[in-house]
Amino acid sequence: MTSTTGKVTIEAFADYAARHGRCELVNGEIRDMTPAGMRHGQITARLTSRLDSFAERHQLGDVLTGKTGFILEPDPPTVRAPDVAFIAAGTPTREHPTGFGQTPPDLCIEVLSPNDRAGEVAAKTRDWLRFGVRQVWIVDPQTRTVTIHHPDGHAQTLNEDQTLTGEDILPGFELRIAELFK
């Protein structure tokens, strides 16, 4: 991941991202991101598929992927993009003229890549929770765990012998952690 110097507006960032691909804007600085690897893609697709199928079947809301951008802060501008997001049905969503979401998703999911740094993942998790996200799931293929972060600071790590649930965000959703890492 590389970063630019100087402050960048949300509009300039949208233009840059359209030309250069995977990146985020953090406190006005563009951070280019390395493309995800095969394992990351497999796990993200598996999780997205299961969540989307469940949410659609029960009419619970929308699952977003493809690194959908959300404006967490207008000044200094911060636009983050989770690997997967869920917005509950009935949530009044707002969109910036650039197309970035301005409404917090209920759930953000990050699937770790080998080059992700712990400090950056922790900062991104804090950013999501401050923005109003109700839960952040950090999926770690290396340790074969999922850590669920809550706004009150509580975090719970589940191993592959346990079952991930949607709690009150996706009521009835269950997925054995081991199924993510097949």
Q: What average pLDDT is seen over the chain?
A: 93
Helix (H, G, I), strand (E, B) or coil at 152: coil
In angstroms, the Cα distances linking 161 to 13, 47, 109, 129, 179 are: 42, 17, 20, 27, 10
Three-state SS at 58: coil
Question: How many residues are given for the chain?
Answer: 182
**What CATH number does the domain located at 37-180 have?**
3.90.1570.10
What pLDDT does 71 receive?
95
> What DSSP character marks residue 95?
B
Q: Which DSSP symbol is given to 99?
A: S
**pLDDT value for 6:** 63
Q: Find, among 113, 120, 162, 121, the residue nearest to 140 by Cα.
A: 113
Paired sense of beta strands 174-176 and 2-3, if any: unpaired
Tokens found for residue 4: 């630019």
pLDDT tens by residue, the chain, 182 residues: 444 456 899 999 999 999 988 889 999 999 988 888 999 999 999 999 999 999 999 999 999 987 799 999 999 999 999 999 999 999 988 888 889 999 999 999 999 998 889 999 999 999 999 999 999 999 999 999 999 999 999 999 999 999 999 999 999 999 999 999 98
In angstroms, the Cα distances linking 108 to 5, 66, 98 are 28, 13, 21
